[in-house]
Amino acid sequence: MNHNTNIHFGNRTLIPHDLHGRSYQDPAVSIVPHPFPPNRAHPTFEGPSRDEHHYHHHQNRPPVYHQPPRPVLHSHHDHVLNRRRDSHFDAVLEGFMESQRRTSRDIETKLEFTRYELDGRLGELSTQIERVESRCLDMEEDLKKQGEAIEDNRRAIHFTKVSTKEMDNHLDEKISSLDNNLDGTTKSLNSITAVAHQAKREVAEVTLKERQCYSTMLTLVEGQKQVKAQIRDLHISLDKRSQDIQRRARGLEDKVDGVSKEVKDLTTRLANLEEKVLTEAKTTVPKHNMPRPSLL
């Protein structure tokens, strides 16, 4: 083994182009020399002579030898030797106690902050509970008002039904009276026509009376037509009125059902809010009675 061979380079002599290897090539082929010169003062290093080194400086540069690191024996250091002394134990205990004091202070400060936060949260919860109670009272008042409105609507529906029945009976009576009047008018018309025929047969000369009778007959016929038209209009108005009353009754029933559903939803929401408030109060109140951590 000469000065150009080294175990780090695989026991082979260096070629000039190997000294200028490239990092992107194969690491077994590309060899990058160390940046600083060799330690020629070391006795184990056998370097070439001055002339030979000067001659082969650019062509065949020798490898760099690094002195191996000296062993580090921790057992001979001061901090290792101090581990077995009482002063070291006292210092360790003092450091441990100081760390415990710091941790206890940090924990106390954290507990103070947590207590402050919990007091703030309890205040917020109390305000929220008061708001919820006020809202519950307002909702109870609204529910009472809605119940009264529902009762009023039911009474109005009942009165409308009764009034519609009375109107139907009254209209039936009017229709029957009109029918009776029509019968009377038809009878009177028949009698008038008979009298007219008799008057024509008996008194051909009296044309004025005949004309008067004929005019009265026409007026009666027109009156009959008008009465029939009025009866039809009354029937149509009764049908429309009954349909409107039925629609209103259905709308009121739908409103009553919707209000009952809203009342049920509000009661369930109130129950859920009360349960949440109770659970939050149970979970937050015991945190004030937590034991303080020990210093050790």
Mean per-residue pLDDT, 274-282: 83
* pLDDT for residue 18 is more than 50: no
User: Domain segments of the chain: what residues?
Assistant: 1-66, 97-289
Tens of pLDDT along 120-165? Answer: 999 999 999 999 999 999 999 999 999 999 999 999 999 999 988 8
Of the candidates 251, 238, 250, the one whose C-alpha atom is nearest the C-alpha of residue 166 is 238
Phi, psi of 203 (to 5 degrees): -120, 95
Confidence bin at 270 (pLDDT 50/70/90): confident
Tens of pLDDT along 177-223? Answer: 888 888 888 888 888 888 878 877 877 776 776 677 788 889 889 98
Distance CA 275, CA 281 (A): 10
Whole-number Cα distances in Å, 230 to 122, 180, 259, 269: 76, 15, 43, 58
* pLDDT for residue 23 is more than 50: no
List b or e across 232-245, with b for residues whose CB sees 16 or more CB atoms inside 10 angstroms: eeeeeebeeeeeeb
Phi, psi of 6 (to 5 degrees): -155, 150
Mean pLDDT estimate for the chain: 77
Tens of pLDDT along 225-261? Answer: 988 888 888 889 888 888 888 888 888 888 888 888 8
pLDDT of residue 68: 81
pLDDT of residue 33: 55
